[in-house]
Structure 1
Amino acid sequence: MSDCIFCKIALHEVPSEIFFEDDEILAFKDIQPLAPVHLIVIPKIHLQSLNDVTLEHERLMGHLFGVIRRLAKELGVAETGYRVVTNTGTDGGQVVGHLHVHLLGGQALNATIG
């Protein structure tokens, strides 16, 4: 989508601090981190939210969560614990209209983070 900031980041039209990239997934640092480790992990294809995920995206979503698991290990939060958050829709707190998952860790997380 031409007006989607996350699509622009995926196309390298907007700079970001990238932690992982392959043909399908991109992980980058959140510009307003809520924890010492706070990455945004997105599919490169534009899906508005989790509501747009269908059976055809099953492999992609498995890959996305595999990337999150690997990043948690690489960033040293897998052993102590981390949070994975997906906000869906306005009432769910979704701000950017592109499916994305927050990876948060590096400190004890309370119920208000995420």
Structure 2
Amino acid sequence: MTEDFYCEEVLSGKTKVNKVLETDHVLAYYHTKPFYPVHIVAIPKKHIPSLITLEEDDNDLLLELLGVVKEVASMVTKEKGTCRVITNLGTYQDSKHLHWHIVSGKPLKS
């Protein structure tokens, strides 16, 4: 896996995605290799390595990102009745780009 799948593949256009919601600074799309029946990823278009590396200058972007996460989570909850919102840090974070997973359903079998 690349160090930053989101910049290198998704935001560059190399990997095509099914968009759910997009703003000037944030993209939410269906995961390319879902782990759940509903698996949406929300990312900032600016490279930020993780939640704990956010700078004070990123506060407006974080609010916009969380607004998109909230809107997508509301859509999923309305349709499915439930969802989870997840972000990973450290070694749990495969791609070193801040991202949130909005998921619903039981994990898919590998």
* TM-score scaled by length of structure 1: 0.78
Offset at residue 60 of structure 1 (A):
1.0
Partner of 1:82 in structure 2?
A: 83
Letter in 1 for 2:95: V
Stretches of structure 2 that go unaligned for 5 or more consecutive residues are: none
RCO higher in 1 or 2 (8 Å CA, sep ≥ 6)?
2
Instruction: Output aligned runs, 1:21-40, within 5 Å.
Output: 21-40=22-41
1:62 Cα deviation after fit: 1.3
Counterpart code for 1:56: D
| Equivalent pair of 1:69/1:78 in contact (CA under 8 Å) | no
> Equivalent pairs: percent with the same residue?
31
Structure showing the higher helix proportion among its residues: 2
Deviates more, 1:58-67 or 1:27-36: 27-36
| Structure 1 portions without partners, runs of 5+ | none
CA-atom RMSD in angstroms: 2.0
Per-residue deviation, 1:64: 0.9
* Matching residue's letter, 1:101: W
Instruction: Return the offset for 1:78.
Output: 4.4
